[in-house]
Amino acid sequence: MKINELPTPCYVIDEKKLRENLEILKKVKDDTGCKILLAQKAFSNFFEYPLIGQYLDGTTASGLFEAKLGYEKMGKENHVFAPAFKESEIGELTDICEHLVFNSFSQLEKYANFCKEKGVSIGIRVNPECSTQGDHAIYDPCAPGSRLGVTLANFREDLVEKLDGIHFHTLCEQNSDDLETTLKAVEEKFGKYLKLPNIKWLNMGGGHHITRNDYDIDRLERCIRHMQETYDVTVYVEPGEAVALNAGYLVTEVMDIVDNGIRTLILDASAACHMPDVLEMPYRPPLKDSGEADEKQYTYRLSSMTCLAGDVIGDYSFDHEIQIGDKLYFEDMAIYSMVKNNTFNGMCLPSIARMDEKGECSVVKTFGYEEFVRRLG
């Protein structure tokens, strides 16, 4: 079927665009010899893991469930970082992960010997205290007082011999000039530790928007080579968004139109339930064949069927009047959508579909009342 024939609401993975992104990432790997991992916190649609596994080196996880998913569904290198690890989970994690990154030296001291006995390579996440985020404080790991990563003042030289690698993650949807800035801070504060003979790898985290049209890949590759040559380490990069950037849609139907001073489309998709970053960041998701408010002839506010007054996606304009029953297509909906959605207000989770390189769609998964009920008791 075609995308306009899908039931709504429905997420759609564009496999042609996904493969194009993967080709770009593979070229970075081939050019530099670095390793690239899928950050599952952004994209975890495991039915695409066989395709992704053809291009990338493995997966990275933020906890046990993601780690199990990467291990079971991709079966390549499997890394995990979490702000803290539970004693009840550390055994299973060390059975299925090659790399385990600690957020603090107290956690490292607690588990390092156990991890070494299991043959797991261990690292520490550092905080270079170099913020390049701008306005998105909620996604800034270098914000003052951040709980993420060890600052230089708290770095324990007495435990550095237990490390195999160093990890940092400071970026979010950023270009490689911000990586270059960050690396200068990393080298200034932690360069002497990177030169130690026991340090075998450097993980530069995620937030690298490598597949964006204006991304400076040449600068990224220079940064990677510099760290490889200066410190004789294997460099890992773990993008999430870049893997599936612009490779998905959320198809929604206009259920009603109300006008209490603002013409508002009531959709069967929700910002609060189906694209929560719209409210959290906040941001305005791209919508096919639309413009900014008042840019085109007909302007509408887009909202949803929930009873949350603030469940508003944004104001958009169109060249033609919108009718009840029309379908709209939100873009760039493969990332941080399905991994974050919820059933607030009893909203149904959108179906999940894939679109092949010929534009043919097939539904992979549908959801119903059972998913809502199962989570509640």
pLDDT (0 to 100) of residue 133: 83
Do residue 232 and residue 159 come from a single domain? yes
The token pair at 244 is: 């599936």
pLDDT (0 to 100) of residue 80: 98
Sign of the torsion angle spanned by Cα atoms 146, 152, 153, 158: positive
Q: Is the pLDDT of residue 135 over 90?
A: no
Q: Is the pLDDT of residue 141 over 90?
A: yes
pTM for the predicted model, two decimal places:
0.96
> Among 51-65, 130-144, 173-187, 275-289, whose mean pLDDT is lowest?
130-144
Do residue 108 and residue 192 come from a single domain? yes
The token pair at 284 is: 């305005």
Q: Quick one: pLDDT band at residue 184, thresholds 50, 70, 90?
A: very high
Q: Is the pLDDT of residue 136 over 80?
A: no
Dist CA 177 CA 300 (whole Å): 37
Do residue 262 and residue 144 come from a single domain? no
Q: Give the end of a domain, one of 244, 276, 297.
A: 244
- Its domain, for residue 346, covers 3-12+248-333+341-374
In a domain, 20, yes or no: no
Do residue 82 and residue 159 come from a single domain? yes
Q: What is the mean pLDDT of the chain?
A: 97
Do residue 176 and residue 206 come from a single domain? yes
Q: Quick one: pLDDT band at residue 22, thresholds 50, 70, 90?
A: very high
pLDDT (0 to 100) of residue 134: 74
pLDDT average, residue stretch 84-105: 98
Q: Is the pLDDT of residue 137 over 80?
A: no
Q: Quick one: pLDDT band at residue 88, thresholds 50, 70, 90?
A: very high
In a domain, 24, yes or no: no
- Give the Å distances, CA to CA, from 93 to 61, 112, 136, 160, 294: 10, 13, 31, 22, 52
In a domain, 171, yes or no: yes
How many separate domains does the chain show?
2
pLDDT average, residue stretch 104-128: 98
Do residue 302 and residue 163 come from a single domain? no
Q: Is the pLDDT of residue 218 over 80?
A: yes
Do residue 124 and residue 185 come from a single domain? yes
pLDDT (0 to 100) of residue 138: 82
